[in-house]
Amino acid sequence: MKFETQTVASAQAFAALRQLKAGDYNVLIDLTAVDYSLYGKCPKPMGWERNFPSGGPQERKERFEVVYRLASLDPATGLEGRPRLSLHVPYDEGSVLLSVMSLWPNADWLEREVWDMFGIKFEDRPEIKRLLLYEEFVGHPLRKDYPVKKRQPLIGPKSGELPDSPSFNVVRQEIPFE
Amino acid sequence: MTQKKTYFLNMGPAHPTMHGVIHLILELDGERVVNTEVEIGYLHRAFEKHAETETWNNAIPYTDRLNYVSPLINNTGFCCAVEKLAGVTIPERGQYLRVIASEISRVADHLTCIGANAMELGAFTVFLYLMEGREYLYQLIDDLCGARVTTDYTRIGGVKADLPEGFMDKCRGVFPKIRKLAADSEALLTKNRIFLDRVEGVGVLSQADALAYGITGPFLRSTGVAYDVRRAHPYLVYDRLDFEVPVGSRGDNLDRYLVRLAEIEQSLRMLEQCFTQLPDGPVSSTPWEMKDAFRFEDMGKAGSTALLPRCLAKTCRTLEGSSRSKASGIMVQDPVLAMPSKEQVYGNIEGLMNQFETVMWSWGVRVPAGEAYHAVEGGNGELGFHIVSDGSDRAYRVRCRPPCLFIMAALPKLLNGGYVADVVATFGSVNMIAGELDR
């Protein structure tokens, strides 16, 4: 599987993707993000210098990178006419990234997942809500600053609302971890 | 004048015909589905977060739980992606073993899907026939990796063990049975009026919509696009195998069923070709003496180490094929990347040190910094793994591209406008696997 890689700034991402869609790339294979805030800062295994004579991976300026993977699939033959394209879009808090829902309908769920997991908000689309987690979830778990052992507050009925079962839906005090 | 009213019906999260936990909110006008909302995430297990916290090899068991109907394909996909990043090619025999494992899993996946779908439409006999077929395959998988579902068969750099004794003969005995069961089921279903009424022309998705939603696998092929990752981007040894890519034309439930049925036959053909093409691993010329693994330890303590190189360890049944004479055929012989064979671990100090280095905290398998995306053809379509490494002992980011997610995103298109009773037929035929969908 061969890939061409391109990098564009977040402000130009939508225009670039629209152009690619108008070109041959008709399928959005994947849309995801990577949080690079700890890149190169993770604890290194013993003897890692042997693998990186040049000093290891470089830290990045922007915290996130949104990755779009496109394929140009020919429906007649079932083969791909061109190598796949992965479009990398560096993103930081405060950058503007437009939604590509108008180009590919499956971007709706993929953008919801990226919002859910990374807190990257896409502009110019209907209200975005979490895809895999629930609305009361606090934080975005695939960010590197989200601790693996973090506990979430227990959710129950909203205040003033009667619990529908006296034993099941009662809000209990948060259990302190460790 | 009466006002037309719609009402809402919740299907799931725990509904007998929801394969796994998924919540459909249907807006109904009488029996017609006006609008559908799909709520997912009930089986979210944070696979991607877990994979970041575990060493490379330790993340493989998590991949079993993605598509739990065909776990061997997930194992293969994850390991292929890591190896692509590390830039290694595994030995030829290992590649064949991965293909054999994947194809057995794919047959089991398709049998389950067709059987469950038919059962939901009332054809219980077919379900029992196909589950019998799947049981034969599960026994083969059990022989191969020691578990039926939580297989964990591949390792970074190869596979866990070679084929157990007599595996190929067992397979050759099982395939006619599966062909018979599939043919019987086909005879019961394909021309059955009751079945056809429920599936023909129901749950139609046009080719353009399927492409727009990024749907792959049997679903896309049922709409007439012959896209198969094994054909478009051959990985492992798929370019040496002769197989057809069955396609449908209408993209309805019937075509999805027919495509899956045809793929079972193609997978069995591929397996038979693998068995004839399978290269022998290096065969040792000296006869080995078999000893229990713990005897090695005793002999070592007693100081009789000179005898050890002439002995083979009898490890557990599932490690039958992992002996030293075979390990070089199924695993990369790279101390940085791959686990040593069990005889080397038990038999000499280098092997023992190597084993510790690959499993010890903050040592482990080392994959160079960078990123890679590798896709395999899963049971439901393109199963891709996007892997980012920063050179430490674990993944920096693992993204799984689950084929089901894209199908579920398009589910409202399939259901809207149909009858509420057809929800069951359509939902069964798209083969949603919650473990993969929610990760």
Instruction: Note the ipTM here.
Output: 0.81
pLDDT value, residue B283: 42
Higher per-residue confidence, A50 vs B96: B96
Q: How confident is the model at residue B286 (pLDDT cuts 50, 70, 90)?
A: very low
Is the residue at A53 inside a domain? Answer: no
CATH number at residue B422: 1.10.645.10
In chain A, how many domains are there?
1
Strand duo B289-292 + B311-314: pairing:
parallel
Distances (CA, A) of B300 to B286, B293, B296, B400: 22, 11, 6, 45
For residue A15, tell me if it sits in a domain.
yes
In a domain, B247, yes or no: yes
Which two three-digit tokens encode residue B24? 């459909």
In a domain, B155, yes or no: yes
Which residues in chain B touch residue A134, judged by CB atoms under 8 angstroms apart?
Answer: 41
Q: Indicate whether B176 and B303 sit together in one domain.
A: no
Q: Are residues B329 and B223 in the same domain?
A: no
Q: Are B97 and B132 members of one domain?
A: yes
Strand pairing class (A84-91; A64-71): antiparallel
Same domain as B326, residue B240: no
Distance of residue A65 Cα from the nearest chain B Cα, in angstroms: 12
pLDDT of residue B281: 59
CB spacing of A48 vs B366 below 8 angstroms: yes
CB contact under 8 A, B363 and A29: no
For residue B131, pLDDT over 80 is answered with yes
| CB nearest A27 (choices: B46, B214, B368) | B214
| Total of domains in chain B | 2
Distance CA B375, CA B381 (A): 10
> CA-to-CA distance for B85 and B87, rounded, in angstroms?
5
Taking one residue from A and the other from B, the number of pairs with CB-CB distance under 8 angstroms is: 136
CA distance linking residue B397 with residue A32, whole number of Å: 11
Residue B317 resides in a domain: yes
- Are B347 and B223 in the same domain? no
Q: Please say whether the dihedral angle defined by the alpha carbons of residues B117, B122, B126 and B129, taken in this order, is positive or negative.
A: positive
- pLDDT over 90 for what percent of chain B? 22
Q: What is the largest CA-CA distance in chain A?
A: 64
Best of A26, A30, A136 to disrupt the B interface (most B CBs within 10 Å) is A30
- What is the full DSSP assignment across A60-120? -SSSEEEEEEEE-B-TTTSSBSS-EEEEEEEE-TT---B--TTT-TTHHHHHHHHHHHH-P
Beta-carbon-side half-sphere exposure of residue B176 (alpha carbons within 13 Å): 4
What are the tens digits of pLDDT across the range B324-355? 555 666 777 766 677 777 767 777 787 788 88
Is A42 in contact with B392 (Cβ distance < 8 A)? yes
Is B305 in the same domain as B235?
no
Token pair for B150: 């939580």
Q: What is the reported pLDDT for B104?
A: 92
Tell which of B297, B324, B359 closes a domain.
B359
> Quick check: A40 and B390 CB within 8 A?
yes
Do residues B124 and B191 both lie within one domain? yes
**Domain interval for residue A125:** 1-39+60-178
Which of B343, B359, B375 is the last residue in one of the domains? B359
For chain B positions 345-364, those within 8 Å of chain A (CB to CB) are: 362-364
| B260 inside domain | yes
Domain membership of residue A6 (yes or no) is: yes
- Report the pLDDT value the prediction gives residue B138, as an integer from 0 to 100: 92
The whole domain housing B343 covers 289-359
B59-77 residue pLDDT tens: 899 998 888 888 999 999 9
Q: Are residues B119 and B182 in the same domain?
A: yes
Using left for φ > 0, alpha for ψ between -120 and 50, and beta otherwise, residue B374 falls in beta
**CA–CA separation, B342 vs B324, rounded Å?**
7
- Whether residue B152 sits in one domain with residue B97: yes
Distance CA A11, CA A89 (A): 9
pLDDT surpasses 80 at B365: no
- Phi and psi at residue B34, to the nearest 5°: -90, -40
Chain B residues lying within 8 Å of A42, measured CB to CB? 390, 392, 394, 396
- Please state whether B413 falls in left (phi above 0), alpha (psi between -120 and 50) or beta: alpha
In which residue are the tokens 């793994």 written? B385
Q: Are residues B423 and B308 in the same domain?
A: no
Question: What string of DSSP letters covers B89-149?
Answer: ---HHHHHHHHHHHHHHHHHHHHHHHHHHHHHTT-HHHHHHHHHHHHHHHHHHHHHHS-SS
Render pLDDT for B138-148 as a digit per residue (tens, 0 to 9).
Answer: 989 988 888 88
* Number of other residues whose CB lies within 10 A of the CB of residue A49: 11
Of B106, B85, B20, the C-alpha closest to B428 is B20
Per-residue tens of pLDDT for chain A, all 178 residues: 778 888 888 888 888 888 888 888 889 999 999 988 888 776 665 555 555 555 556 677 788 889 999 988 888 887 888 888 889 998 888 888 888 888 889 998 999 999 999 988 888 888 888 888 888 888 888 888 888 888 877 776 666 665 555 555 455 566 666 6
Residue B124 tokens read as 């219980």
Residues 30..69 of B with a Cβ closer than 8 Å to A: which?
A: 40-41, 44, 46, 48-49, 53
For A46, nearest residue in chain B (alpha carbons): B363
Least confident of B3-12, B42-51, B404-413: B3-12
CATH of the domain at A22: 3.30.460.80
Chain B: closest CA distance from residue A174 (Å): 21
Q: Is B192 found in the same domain as B103? A: yes
Task: Indicate the pTM of the whole model.
Answer: 0.84
Q: Domain boundary residue among B359, B374, B394?
A: B359
Q: Confirm whether B371 is domain-assigned.
A: no
Beta-ladder partners of A7: A88
Q: CB of B110 within 8 A of CB of B246?
A: no
- C-alpha pair distances (Å), B74 with each of B61, B66, B323, B401: 10, 7, 25, 11
User: Scanning every residue of chain B, which has its alpha carbon at the shortest distance from the alpha carbon of A148?
Assistant: B49
B85 and B383 Cβ atoms separated by less than 8 Å: no
Closest by CA position to B65, among listed B57, B77, B75: B75
Long-range contacts (CB closer than 8 Å, 24 or more residues apart) made by A116-119: A116/A140, A117/A33, A117/A141, A117/A142, A117/A143, A117/B48, A118/A33, A118/A35, A118/A64, A118/A142, A118/A143, A119/A143
Do B202 and B317 have their domain in common? Answer: no
Residue A128: burial class (beta carbons within 10 Å; 0-12, 13-18, 19+)? middle
For residue A57, which residues of chain B lie inside 8 Å, CB to CB?
369, 390-391
Residue of B nearest to A109 (CA): B409
In a domain, B38, yes or no: no
